[in-house]
Amino acid sequence: TWHRQIVFRTSSSRPTLMPLLSARRLTKRFPGVVALDAVNFDLKAGEIHALCGENGAGKSTLIKLLAGIHPHGTYEGDLLVNDQPVTFRGIRDAETAGIAVITQEFALIDELSVAENIFLGRAPRRGWRVDWLEMHRRAAGLLADFGLAISPEAPIRTLGVGQKQLVEIVRAMDKRTRVLVLDEPTAALTEQEVSVLLDHLRRLRAQGTACIYISHKLDEVFALADRITVLRDGRSVTTLERNQTTIPEVIKQMVGREIADLFPRRPRVAVANESAISSLLDVQHLTVARSAGEPPLLHDLSFSVRPGEILGFGGLMGAGRTELMMHLFGAWGHRISGKVTLREQPYADASPRVSIARGLVLATEDRRRYGLVLEQPVGFNLSLSSLPACTRAPMRIDQEKEYVRNQHFFESLRIKAPGQHARAGGLSGGNQQKVVLGKALMTNPAVVMLDEPTRGIDVGAKLEVYELINRLTGEGRAVILVSSELPELMGMSDRIIMLAAGRIGGEFARGEFTPEKLLAAAMGRAAA
């Protein structure tokens, strides 16, 4: 049967589940890098097994082997399904064995319907024609089984991120998947969408489906997983029973040392003549629409940020945080009214080029889409926003000077790559984020806007980002930190502003932070 569990007897006559999927001493090499070094891993039927580790630890490489993306013969070691060796020559072989991988980048076609995406490449047919009636009937049944109130005829582009994630899972399960691999499935989900997804995964576990769950959000891991395997530097360090370990212990295994403080904020130190110091960025009564003639999305926003301060921005999805940062940077929106002052000078005609020249820089939320040229080397990306500092007349790049400037940030940010020549798209998420931050810092900014700077990166990389933020404020720069994670906002901010539907729902000084107050403000109401 599909969910058959194979049992053997130990010497103590105690029944033990034979692993559904096993990896034995898997070793994968790339030029100059050992990505996996004799990794061992096993997965039981009806188990959720979390895979944790820093970016670059080997998690993505391991799942690519399991999914057939790196085919048999390109690595050493053995893969076994039901204790039998398997040789996956490609993705289809892995799918035939019942293994499906859902990555952070959805494999969905926006212009096709939900039903068409579910049955992509295997649509029911009547003769030579697609049987549309049967396709929609079967899709409706599958969606209903998952409790999803989604029309099979709805175009994928009309769905939210959480709904798209569930459609991917529905498609995988209709292929009679026995092993479901989820890579950072909640990175872009709201709290409600996360709750729905975790409930569905628990339901699949109860039905016998095995799941490999990869996430940097350890609270989710501990709410969901049965076992946790930690990878570090390409090696499998340990496998722990979830109910016999703790989050600090898992973090210690991931980074190889004790972590005393997850949010090492060094409080802003007041300076002499504090009252005489003006803000580096001042915004008064700002109202912005997507384009001229449209209704506003940001309404009457007023705030300021001072030298050496971290101003946090929170809010629910759609509150307007990213739009605000993009507008201040000059990359989005039509200003209806309001005044912006940057370094004591009016700033009305914003553009990315002018913002950078005047000392305002943005590290974007979507680093892969807007922050990096993925096919270009690390060095190309690092200096991309500060090329005037690397040029000589007549408009020629001084490559030696560019290399030296890049190398300073490459080393100080501890970017893990063979060198500046490494392709940016081939780096781990945490190291890509370091390149984005390095590119921003090479412009020598006075105000640094960080939009979700730690999304999708591991705890070790997060600590490095936090220390970098402390370094920036210690140098007298101002930091605006946008984050969806309340613990991060509360741990790193000197003040927090919560946006609610494009308006300020509340502003709080550091001593006033509580999750209840912040969430109430995000929903546009006062805390009880």
Across all residues in the chain, what is the average pLDDT? 86
> How far apart, in whole angstroms, are the C-alpha atoms of residue 499 and residue 258?
35
Tell me the pLDDT band of 268, cut-offs 50, 70 and 90: low
pLDDT for the residue numbered 215:
87
Range with lowest mean pLDDT among 51-55, 109-113, 200-204: 51-55
Q: 228: which residues sit within 8 A by CB, 6+ positions away?
A: 49, 50, 51, 52, 221, 239, 240, 242, 245, 250
Sole residue written with tokens 């090696």:
235
Cα dihedral: 493, 498, 502, 503 (round 10) = -120
Tens of pLDDT, residue by residue over 463-474, are 888 988 999 999
Closest C-alpha to 188, from 217, 212, 157: 217
> Do the beta carbons of residue 290 and residue 297 sit within 8 Å?
yes
Tens of pLDDT, residue by residue over 413-452, are 888 888 999 999 888 777 888 899 999 999 999 999 999 8
Tell me the pLDDT band of 153, cut-offs 50, 70 and 90: very high
* Residue 457 burial (CB count, 10 A): 24
503 phi/psi in degrees, rounded to 5: -120, 160
Tens of pLDDT, residue by residue over 241-255, are 999 999 889 988 887
* Residue 157 burial (CB count, 10 A): 11
**pTM for the model:** 0.67
136 phi/psi in degrees, rounded to 5: -70, -35
> How far apart, in whole angstroms, are the C-alpha atoms of residue 283 and residue 337?
11
pLDDT for the residue numbered 260:
61
pLDDT for the residue numbered 6:
36
Cis, peptide link before residue 394, omega less than 30° from 0:
yes
Cα dihedral: 235, 236, 237, 239 (round 10) = 170
- Return the DSSP state at 278: P
Tens of pLDDT, residue by residue over 90-137, are 988 998 999 988 877 778 898 999 999 999 888 889 989 999 999 999
